[in-house]
Chains A and B, each alone.
Chain A
Amino acid sequence: MSDLVRARHEGTDYTMSRFWAKRLGAEIIQSPTLNADGTRRGPTSADSGRTAKPKTTVAKSAAAKTADSATTEEKN
């Protein structure tokens, strides 16, 4: 996996290939592509370095909330 790099794209750091970093215009940063246990490192926030939360929209959150409340009503 030596061809993978850590690249910063729209405020999030990703492990990706050099090809995609160049194509997306992402900045290649000096950071490990693997976790300490050897697994592939997932997206992290460029600011905090913590695991990045999945991006969502207001509409999507509302839909998820509606679906959740509907399931709760069915249980009741």
Chain B
Amino acid sequence: MRKRATTSSATSSPKNARAGGCFAIIWCSVSSLFLIGGIFLIIKGVKEASWIEVPCEIERLEVTWQQAEAEPFDIETVFSYQYEGQNYRSERFSSNSSRGDDYEKLYEKTLDAREQSACYLDPANPSEAVLATSPLTILAGGILTAVSTLFLAIGLWIGLSSRRKGKALSSGGKTSQSARKSRAGPIAFSIFFLVGLIAFLLFSLPSFRKHQALKSWPSAPATVIWSEVRSHQGDDGTTYSVDIFYQYRFQGNDYHSNRYKFLRGSSSGRAAKAEIVASYPAGRSLEVFVNPEKPWQAVIERRPGWALVFLFFPAPFLLIGGIGLASHFRKGSSVHSPRSAHLPRRSDAPALPIKPGKRSRFGKFFGLLVFALFWNGIVSVFVFLAWKSGSGGSPDWFLTIFIIPFVLIGLVVIAALPHSLLALFSPYFSFELSPPELVPGTRVTAKWRQSGGSGAMSAMSLTLVGEEIATYQQGTDTRTATSTFHRQIVKESTRRDEIMAGQAEFVIPTNAVPSFQSAHNQIRWFLIHHVAVAQRPDVRDEVPLTIHPHMQSDFS
């Protein structure tokens, strides 16, 4: 019988494997639904693409309207065509529904169809023909299929990775699993960045350009045909939009449009929309602004208003993706050999003197300031919407109650700012440690001196601290747990001269675990320098210590 070494063990792999397996099943199921949808679209697109194009004579092609309908506009058409010597007649515009609530969009479809003067028929049933096919169906199906296949592959990979029974424990290391894990981060950040970039190029940039061009659109006289607030039922309640349908005359021709602003959409809060609609009753004359290059495009209101905020939608994706990728590549640039990996390099001794406070205090203040501006900036938009709905007589209670915790967080962050700002003016200290290279058992001399800042200091302490820091994934969140295993006060004083400049001697415990850092786990040593300051935030700086393992000569 062989002897074995026993070591302590906390959480073991099977729990993670089960969680990974369940997650993978849900992930794969959802991805599969999208994949089926994508394949269905491709089949539909391919079927349509096999239809034959034949010349046709359009007898009637126009956008009609019925105010009472939820989608008030429809394309009505009559056209005739010949196939294999037979005459046919059809009234179908496309294989999909030709109804809609955007007049301009439907009108553009009729222009395209008129320009082509061709129809598409099913060779198996020549009496079935349409004026317009949807060439984007295959593209949309292809994109949906590709994206959902990618997600399905990720789900399968997660599922297979969680089936580790019988697999080598060591292969979870640099050669495979941790290498895969280290790739997962940049892949996720790349996807974020890509989504942001695509949204910026396809949505934000054209919208910005159109908004700029819109400023030079000439005006034209118009008459309101109808105006009403339209309701839209959604998963998160009812939203409303302004629907003002008008006729206008531009360069001798009559046109119609129901575009109020250049960005369409609906939102909660009926009162504000009702107010707009009330100011444009049916029959009222008004001035609209017309695109001189495409005179069927017009708007009543040229100012973008709050809708402009939506154009910044890609910004968080670009920022998170970009910062994540930059930080990953910066981390990846310092690679140690496997023998010494995760141990601090002996050449990594900090430059003397160490000035611990300045950077962290400025970083904390500006970090808090940026967060406060970002958080409260976003929250204020919703506060304004809630206030507007309330002042309009029909308060949006759901929105009002929903934003309360977000507002409270914003207020707490603002309240923390003065403390953080005051800390910038508290005293700063510089430290010198000797010897510069520390191993367990080293006798250390730490010297400090006030190097800036001001304040009446009444007491100080210097504490040697050792911490375990573990980073772990919980659902989609990355969490960090910290446990202190060593805490030793090495100096305390209430003498003013000693607080301003002094020294302390202490010994690194002989059985200390050296500093260590791997991808998710860390052993960290540092000194906490705490100085009580009157009428200012206390100084609470951390002086990092690097404790190396013993050298070979220490064992001989």
A binds B: no
A residues touching B (Cβ–Cβ < 8 Å)?
none
B residues touching A (Cβ–Cβ < 8 Å)?
none
